[in-house]
Amino acid sequence: MGSWIAAPVFERTRIAGRGVLMNHQPKMVQHTSLVVRSVYAERPMTNTTDGPLSGLRVIDCSGMISGGFATTQLADFGADVIMVEHPKHGDPIRAWPPFQDDVSLWWKSIGRNKRCVTLDLSSDRGAALLLELIEGADIFFENFRPGTLEGWGIGPKQLRSVNEELIVVRLSGYGQTGPRSEKPGFGTVAEGLSGWAHANGFPDREPLLPPISLADLSAAQFAIQAAMFAIFERDVTGSGVGQTIDVSLYEPLFRLFLGDVESYDRTGEIRERTGNQHPNTAPRNVYETADGYMTLSASSQRIFENVMDAIGRADLISDPRFETNEKRVDNATELDAVIEEWTRQRSTDEAITEMEAADAIVGPVYTMADIFEDEQYEARNDIVSVEDDDVGDVRTAGPVPKFSRTPGEVTHMGPRHGEHNEEVYLEELDLPPEEYDTLIEEGVI
């Protein structure tokens, strides 16, 4: 049995779709757990699941990759995400290849589990409708150039004037402050500015950009974690009010350089490109095999010794060049050559089998075709099938991470442009049909 302490216990309810802290007075609770009771009234949310974010409403005015992927993750785990697009032109990702029957599969992926409405935010009536949507929301995402929303009269101050609990997540190239803040920003520029491109690639080649939208996707993850921090502060710590979160594209990547900031400050050293080698541990690389490639990492002394045993070179364990990790890093090229001489004489499967028998840490280098056939991916439902009205039965990445009680789910792929207009405006905002028709005619929705 735990001791008893005074701690806040919150009962949160939804009134007309809006969150209200009903009680934030200290009560006696058992020290073994802090209980937060969340009670949400029923409301139409056709795309949500029983995931851990069930009952959370998100208004997404961001589009593209960073905001789009952040809200996809939230939607995968039960949040009701309403994505707002311009009436004439939707999210640019709708026009990104690959296509099936002129339908973007990129969009089908990043738009999944969301509801899509159209709205011209630059119009007075469009701005007013956004404020109506905001009344029932927990989180608002936007990625306009800094100052754009304020110019339309719907900046964070105006948004929270109708919903003081609202958490506003702002994504931009450089953040909302600083000398570059008003410039447009894309992930490619952020990958250069953050130091990432300089450190990536091989020492005898030019800086290398990633093959995926790394800056955008990293910013998305930081935006999600920040939004959850703010939810905790609002609902559990008990302030009961929202705040604004400022996420740039370059800073999340910059934050991932653990030790590099301190190293330059104290020693003046700059991380240089090392290819597939690691500056702090060896051996670690991609090694050629008789029929492809494999990966290997030996970041501890014991694993290094296991690798040497596997390739029949136990004599190298006491070799002065390799006897410590620091010396192995200094002589990584020579060590890699010894390992690759062994791997090239075996197929990938054979090399992995022999390495694993010696308790080495290795793996294959997969293509997407390999992933579709892999039993590990299959066992964890990492690829799931979803029926879609546009492209038929399509396989997509399953939600991750895995939850024991409230797992994520993919209920539908990316909707059509404005597919949920009637559901949101007529049924949830209760607009009169004649006003709805007028707004369509005027190009507001």
Catalytic residue IDs: 216
Neighbours of 314 (CB within 10 A): 11
Task: Name residue 209's amino acid.
Answer: L
For the beta sheet containing 362-364, the strands, ordered from the edge strand earlier in sequence to the opposite edge, are 284-288, 293-297, 362-364
* 333's tokens: 């090229």
CA 417/CA 200 separation, integer angstroms = 38
86, 77, 167: which is closest to 113 by C-alpha?
77
Place of tokens 């990958």: 191
Q: Is the peptide bond before 407 cis (omega within 30 degrees of 0)?
A: no
- Interatomic CA distance for residues 342 and 348, integer angstroms: 11
Rounded CA separation 214/191 (Å):
8
Q: What type of residue is 337?
A: A
**Beta-strand (E) ranges in 202-324?**
244-248, 284-288, 293-297
Chain mean position to CA 281: 28
Q: Which helix (H) or strand (E) is 20 found in, with range? A: strand 18-23
Which amino acid is it at 22? M
Q: 189: Cβ–Cβ under 8 A, 6 or more apart, which residues?
A: 173, 249, 250
Q: What are the distances in angstroms from CA 42 to CA 46, 56, 225, 305?
A: 12, 12, 26, 59
Strands 293-297 and 284-288: antiparallel
Q: Distance (Å, rounded) from C-alpha 87 to C-alpha 84?
A: 9
